Amino acid sequence: MNQRLRPAISEPVVLLFSRQQVETCDVNEPLASLRELTADRNVALQFCGRVSLVIDGYNEDPRELFEIPEVRAYLKRLDQEWPYWFFFLSQADDSIPILESCLCDTIEVIPGVASIDLDQMDHALTRHFGAMNRLSQELNLPEEICGQIAEGVIRLIHNAAVERIEGEDYR
């Protein structure tokens, strides 16, 4: 197992958004918690790569989270206030794909396969990598860790990419 991912698996930190928070677009409580992560170098390093996004209350909804307008609006609002996701989100689960698919126009092409607007994805990635770099400078975080995170995010995005779907039904 990749040693950098070990804490995300053995000691995950769950950032839970309730359906009520999402539907009222109440970002105050999670935003306060997220800001604590970026207030101090030692805290940032302690929670690096360990945070898992969980959006509760939609388990019975047949739609993907990126298809639910309230979820998309909620994550967009939270992202406007706090863009430091890449340093903290787990790469051992779907937290990064969930976030990015909700921030960008995304459609389900076939069950289990989504298509994300590439221009919007480029903008979101640039914003999140830039935020991680600013945080790294402000808190004097090790460049090696940020480089490993960037490589992991790029690998996640690359592994999720589908260049072309074959078959008569998808031309």
Tens digits of residue pLDDT in 29-46: 999 999 999 999 999 999
Top pLDDT among 26 and 12 is at 26
Mean pLDDT of 59-69: 95
Contacts of 39-45 with CB under 8 Å at 24 or more apart are 40/139, 41/139, 41/140, 41/141, 44/87, 44/88, 44/135, 44/139, 44/141, 45/141, 45/145
- The half-sphere exposure of 32 on its side-chain side, counting CA atoms within 13 A, is 3
Lowest mean pLDDT among 4-13, 30-39, 109-118, 158-167: 158-167
* 8 Å CB contact between 56 and 20: no
Task: From residue 153, give the alpha-carbon distance in Å to each of 78, 100, 128, 157.
Answer: 20, 11, 10, 6
The pLDDT-based confidence of 6 (bands split at 50, 70, 90) is low
Q: Hey, how many other C-beta atoms are within 10 angstroms of the C-beta on 169? A: 7
What are the sequence ranges of the domains in the chain? 3-170
- Predicted confidence at residue 113, as pLDDT, reads 81
- Predicted confidence at residue 116, as pLDDT, reads 87
5: pLDDT strictly greater than 60: no
126: pLDDT strictly greater than 60: yes
- Predicted confidence at residue 38, as pLDDT, reads 96
- Predicted confidence at residue 170, as pLDDT, reads 41
71: pLDDT strictly greater than 90: yes
- Predicted confidence at residue 171, as pLDDT, reads 39
The pLDDT-based confidence of 1 (bands split at 50, 70, 90) is very low
4: pLDDT strictly greater than 60: no
- Predicted confidence at residue 2, as pLDDT, reads 52
The pLDDT-based confidence of 114 (bands split at 50, 70, 90) is confident
